[in-house]
Amino acid sequence: MRYNIDPRQQAVRDRIKEFAEKEILPVYKELDRAPEKFPVDYYRKLGKAGYIGFAMPKEYGGGGYSNIEYITLIEELAYWDAATALLAAVPELAVYPIIHFATEEQKKKYLPKCATGEMIPSFALTERMAGSDAANQQTIAKIVGNEFVINGEKIFIMHGDACDLAVLFCRIGEEASERPKVSAIIIESNRPGFKGFTLKHKMGMRAATTGRIELKDYRIPISYQLGEIGKGFRYAMATLDGARIGVAAQGVGLCQRALDESISYAKSRIAFGAPIAKLQAIQWMIADMATQLEAARMLTYKAAVLQDKGEKFSLEASQAKLFATEASRFCVDRAMQIHSGYGYIGEFSVIEKLYRDQRVTEIYEGTSEVQRMVIAGNYLR
């Protein structure tokens, strides 16, 4: 049973169910098992359906939907295929700094093509020594004449291997210091000095590829600077606040799928002369999964509603992300236990894929440990 706090959510659910039956179910297994290459044609299909720029402003070609409708979109896509949900979520993450901090000229140049899926954007923040400690940026952009000359490397960048542009976080004109200020620059991948590489052998979310970006004497005009020098970290954290609600929605979708699959299997699987749904051990697992799911859903919706109202939501986003992703681990694990060998072998059920896809939700957009730091900081300050 799905609970809507806004009547518009049901329209999103119905729309995604129809899309999933036609476009996701026929291909998602193939995309998961195919060689790791960004699925450009599938991505464009999502864009044509309006799911890439779903929440982007209408004046720049987006759908202009509310945050509660957007996280319902991500929840429903994740129900059918978590990697598809990630393909739709990454562009919203990547262009958030452009929407909120870029010049009007920059917005008009990039947002319409990103909203339709014509251009693939990425959010280039993470480095080998700047993961949870995101302020520890080592990529440097030196000002030479009217250009930035950029050197550095980014890793674990969603779509970084296939992107047309990236919002790059780096230091501008600074040598190494204890806590250098972070700035943001829009960069394009078709310029000399940019190389994108696909990270191989991902555990899950395989259709939505993850990349490494290498910048060597990469040059771009200083007009591509995004916002003010030294405010990049603030831009990045504001972006991640919203993205965390999206990850929470992924967790909710995974929870729901794990629960639905478990209920169906428990009713049909016969052991000891009766469906295993008659066994108290199975019933208790179902009860715990359902309760975790509904708590995760309410925390996620609360954060999205606060964002729609223009109120502070950083704490609520972290709470939703922490709880929903850990709830999805619980639900997927219980689903695996209920399905037993039929869950462990991907040939028989979707549970094996849910198990692989779920794990990263507790890592990206801030690990569970980072979320606990954010939550505790809000209460202790």
pLDDT in tens, 157-203: 999 999 999 999 999 986 555 556 899 999 999 999 999 999 999 99
pLDDT, position 236 = 97
Q: What is the pLDDT of residue 181?
A: 87
Q: Which CATH code of 1.10.260.30, 1.20.140.10, 1.10.10.10, 3.40.50.300 fits the domain covering 233-380?
A: 1.20.140.10
Whole-model pTM: value is 0.96
User: What is the model's pLDDT at position 174?
Assistant: 64
CB 357 within 8 A of CB 325: no
pLDDT at res. 175: 58
The residues assigned a catalytic role are 365
Which CATH superfamily is 8-116 part of? Acyl-CoA dehydrogenase/oxidase, N-terminal domain (1.10.540.10)
Summarize pLDDT for 88-112 with one digit per residue, the tens.
Answer: 999 999 999 999 999 999 999 999 9
User: Quick one: pLDDT at residue 36?
Assistant: 82
Element (H or E) spanning 96, and its range?
helix 82-101
What residue type is 335 in one-letter code? A
CA distance 221 to 204: 38
**In this structure, what is the dihedral angle of CA atoms 9, 12, 13, 14, given to the nearest 10 degrees?**
120
Q: Please tell me the predicted confidence (pLDDT) of residue 173.
A: 82
Q: What is the C-alpha end-to-end distance of the chain, expressed in Å?
A: 39
Fold of the CATH domain 121-230:
Butyryl-CoA Dehydrogenase, subunit A; domain 2 (2.40.110)
Domain residue limits, the chain: 8-116, 121-230, 233-380
| Residue numbers of the chain with a pLDDT score lower than 70 | 1, 174-180
Q: What's residue 108's pLDDT?
A: 98
Equal CATH topology for 121-230 and 233-380: no
What's the pLDDT at 177? 55
- Report the pLDDT value the prediction gives residue 178, as an integer from 0 to 100: 56
Q: Can you tell me whether residue 176 is helix, strand or coil?
A: coil
Q: Angle 101-103-109 (CA atoms, 0-180°, nearest 5)?
A: 110
* pLDDT confidence of residue 1: 64
Instruction: Report the C-alpha gap between 223 and 134 in whole angstroms.
Output: 25
